[in-house]
Amino acid sequence: MTSRFLAAFVPIVLAGCANLQNADNFLGVVTPYRVEVVQGNVVTKEQAALIKPGMTRNQVRDILGSPLLTDLFHADRWDYVFTIRRQGTEPQLRRIVVLFEGDRLKSMDAGGDLPGEREFVASIDSARSPRSLPTLALNEDQVKALPVPPKAAAADAEPVGPARDYPPLEKQP
């Protein structure tokens, strides 16, 4: 009797476990942690605007970074692939193909519009409430409240410290 009960009960439990792996939450209470997976190079609209036909491979690499995929059989093609899966945001996938003729850039195909830097950061920001940003400039009252810097030593004063016994690194007039 017990073995028949287990034989019927175990497949039901295992089937339930398989459904829990695909669920976003369990009973609307517990949300499992999902690992953030980022692969490839982020290529923004600003970076793509710097790319011009005729550039060398090194110049393209300086702007876009190293390609994620290079093919031995297609040496004149670089593939930039970017994927990100972050909890609380939509997954993103972008593919950019850069084609060369010899060492010079022939074309770049982004397959659509690329996001700007600010737009990209906003798309991966999973914070629910707007954060307060620190002020980066002082107002006049704050500048007046700063301590007065000490007066610089006289230019003709004798330097303090060990004597230099090696040639100076900078050019002497």
Q: Which residue has the tokens 């609380």?
A: 88
Domain ranges of the chain: 31-125
* pLDDT reported for residue 14: 61
Q: Is the pLDDT of residue 104 over 90?
A: yes
Give CA–CA dist 80/63, Å, rounded. 12
CB proximity list for 60: less than 8 A, separation 6 or greater: 51, 78, 98, 105
**Which range, of 15-19, 35-39, 49-53, 150-154, averages the lowest pLDDT?**
15-19
Per-residue pLDDT, averaged over 6-32, amounts to 61
Per-residue pLDDT, averaged over 115-124, amounts to 84
* pLDDT reported for residue 6: 66
Structure tokens at 77: 């093609």
Name the residue type at position 55. Answer: M
CATH topology of domain 31-125: Beta-lactamase Inhibitory Protein; Chain:B, domain 1 (3.30.1450)
Largest Cα–Cα distance in the chain? 104
- Is the entire prediction scored with pTM above 0.85? no
